[in-house]
Structure 1
Amino acid sequence: MATTPSSKAILDLYATALRTSRSFSSYNFRHYFVRRTQDTFRTIQEEQDPAKVSSMYNEAVKELAVLRRSAVVNQLYGGWKLAVEDQTEVRTRGDT
């Protein structure tokens, strides 16, 4: 029988997945994976059955590996910044 992961292990995995989700260079991918990560761990937190928590945790570990690889590829082939993103160089009226 599989052991139930500790609360600390789940929180560590959540923090790592959230950090990886925020590393996407593409705005749309970044926000999608942050929301998906939050939803996934919210369902893990609400689950009462230890066997289901264990299987959900193991699935999240597998998804983290895929997320890391996807983030690296996205950083290599990132595109232009969108208008909704924070621009590092904001033009003011006096700049020309």
Structure 2
Amino acid sequence: MATPPARKAVLDLYASTLRTAKSFNSYNFRTYFVRRTEDTFRGIQAERDPIKLSQAYNEAVKELSVLRRCAVMNQLYGGERLAVEEQSDVRTRGDA
């Protein structure tokens, strides 16, 4: 019988994955991976079967290593910021 991961291990993995997801320079990738991380760990939280919980945890560990590599590549080759991200340059009608 598989031993489920400890609660602290799951929370640490969640924090690491969320931190990595937030490190993307690209707004679209960043928001997608943050949302995907939250959805993945919501599913892990709801899982009660110890075998499925262990499998989901192991899969999340593998995905974290892939996500870290992707984040590094995105930081190296990040493009220009989107209009959505330009908060300081936004003018309202009263400013003109």
State TM-score, norm by structure 1: 0.90
Offset at 1:2? Answer: 2.9
Counterpart check, 1:71 vs 2:66: no
CA deviations 1:19-58 (Å, max 9, x no partner) are 0000000000000000000000000000110110000000
Asked if the contact 2:2–2:50 (Cα under 8 Å) also holds between the matched residues in 1, the reply is no
Offset at 1:91? Answer: 6.7
Query: Which runs of no fewer than 5 residues in structure 1 stay unpaired?
Result: none
CA deviations 1:44-85 (Å, max 9, x no partner) are 000110110000000000000000000000000000100111
Counterpart check, 1:90 vs 2:81: no
Structure 1 stretches of 4+ moved >4 Å: 91-94
Query: Which runs of no fewer than 5 residues in structure 2 stay unpaired?
Result: none
Matches of 2:41 and 2:78, distance apart in 1:
27
Matched residue SS, 1:82: coil
Offset at 1:3? Answer: 1.7
Matches of 2:90 and 2:85, distance apart in 1:
14
Q: Work out the percentage of aligned pairs sharing the same amino acid.
A: 68
CA root-mean-square deviation:
1.5
* Equivalent pairs, count: 93
Letter in 2 for 1:26: S
Show the counterpart of 1:59.
Answer: 59
Show the counterpart of 1:32.
Answer: 32
State TM-score, norm by structure 2: 0.90
